Amino acid sequence: MSEAEFGAYLDLLYGTAVEPADWEPTIARFADLIGGAKAWMPSLNLYSGGGQGVIARLEQTAQDSYFQYYYATNPFVPIGGATLTEPWPLNIATDEDLMSKAQFTALEYYNDFLLPQDIHSFVTIRLARRGGVQSTLNITRPPHKEQFGDSDLEIARRLHPHLIRAFNITRKLSAVRRENDELATVFERSTHGLFLLDTDGRVRRANDVGERLAGEPEGLRVADQRLTARNLTEARRLHALIATAGANDPGRRCGGSMALATPGRRSPLSITVAPIRGEHLAVGDTGPSILVCVTDLEAGVRLPEQKLRDLFGLTAAETRLALAMFEGLTQREAAERFSLSLNTVHVQLARVFEKTGVKRQAELMRLMMRAAGLEVG
């Protein structure tokens, strides 16, 4: 392998580290560099035998059949917790390093799984083992080709540390992306108005509730991409909270809260400003971020009926009554709304108390507020 080929492959490899969809052509190119034919980069669960993998020049059905059955016939990856206690150095080994060719070709794994795929020899490059999951890169050759030789393995060893590093970058970035996707879902579905800001108060992102609150004629607004208040005095207070939460000095960086009164509301908007540490940011963000949470204390709180039924095992009638109590109806008013006798309401409410583990209506309201995601003292 020339220096130009080596450099070109490193460019490809580290580009793939941050773009996981490109692993297939990257491992195919690695196979070409060491004279291989097919490539498989699986992550195998050592407890169950299941897993997932990236394949190049292999049929998806082959990988599926491995995870469905042939993992149990593979002597090179024994399944079970005892395996995890054994040393597992990140090395490179061929099938002949692990077993004689005569033994190898006598295996069910060879004859029923590998040979039908035109695989007669392989080299395994170990990449990582973490949490019971073992990851490797496997390059194969067909029966008409010789075993991997010293020159092939020398190329593999030269690239091995870079493969490990690129694989770990992909793994870490994938975890961050999954976390970001999950956080984004929570962000968008929140019943509170949420704003993600930079340290200058510029809005990076706002959920639907936040955009609605900022679009009202009173209270908050977004001006020149910055979150502010329409009242000058309140704006200064909000800017001060944002500045403190986004301070460059970690020792000064802290959150705070304020009430934002508006003429059209009896209750103020409750605003909480909090710094977000850098390790929770998406890749590419610079500096600290700030989360602003705005709660409209007068907005109706919606508690899904199905959630109550799932949490406490309430019947449809019991759930309907509990929600009516949550809305502030008295037992008599609930009886009138649902055309029930007051005695029936008493009986249903007693069942609600029993199933939720409370003894009084006030306790039920507090429990339902927690279920709705509201803070209660």
In this predicted model, what pLDDT tens digit does every residue of 292-328 receive, in sequence order?
A: 988 887 665 556 677 788 888 999 999 999 888 877 7
Cα–chain-centroid distance for residue 17? 18
Over residues 261-278, the mean pLDDT reads 81
- The pTM score is 0.58
In this predicted model, what pLDDT tens digit does every residue of 333-370 receive, in sequence order?
A: 999 999 999 999 999 999 999 999 988 887 887 787 67
The mean of the pLDDT values for the chain is 87
- Answer whether residue 375 shows pLDDT above 60: no
CA separation, residue 293 to residues 109, 265, 274 (Å): 58, 18, 8
CA separation, residue 180 to residues 39, 272, 277, 287 (Å): 31, 22, 14, 17
What pLDDT, on a 0 to 100 scale, did the predictor assign at position 373? 57
d(CA 143, CA 105): 11
Q: Looking at the DSSP assignment, which residues form a beta bridge with residue 229?
A: 220
What pLDDT, on a 0 to 100 scale, did the predictor assign at position 280? 41
CB 327 within 8 A of CB 305: no
What pLDDT, on a 0 to 100 scale, did the predictor assign at position 282? 40
Q: Walk me through the domains of the chain, giving residue ranges and CATH numbers.
A: 3-181 (3.30.450.80), 191-296 (3.30.450.20), 305-371 (1.10.10.10)
What pLDDT, on a 0 to 100 scale, did the predictor assign at position 301? 54
**Considering the chain, what percentage of its residues have pLDDT values greater than 70?**
92
Q: How many beta carbons lie within 10 A of that of residue 230, not counting itself?
A: 16
Over residues 185-190, the mean pLDDT reads 78
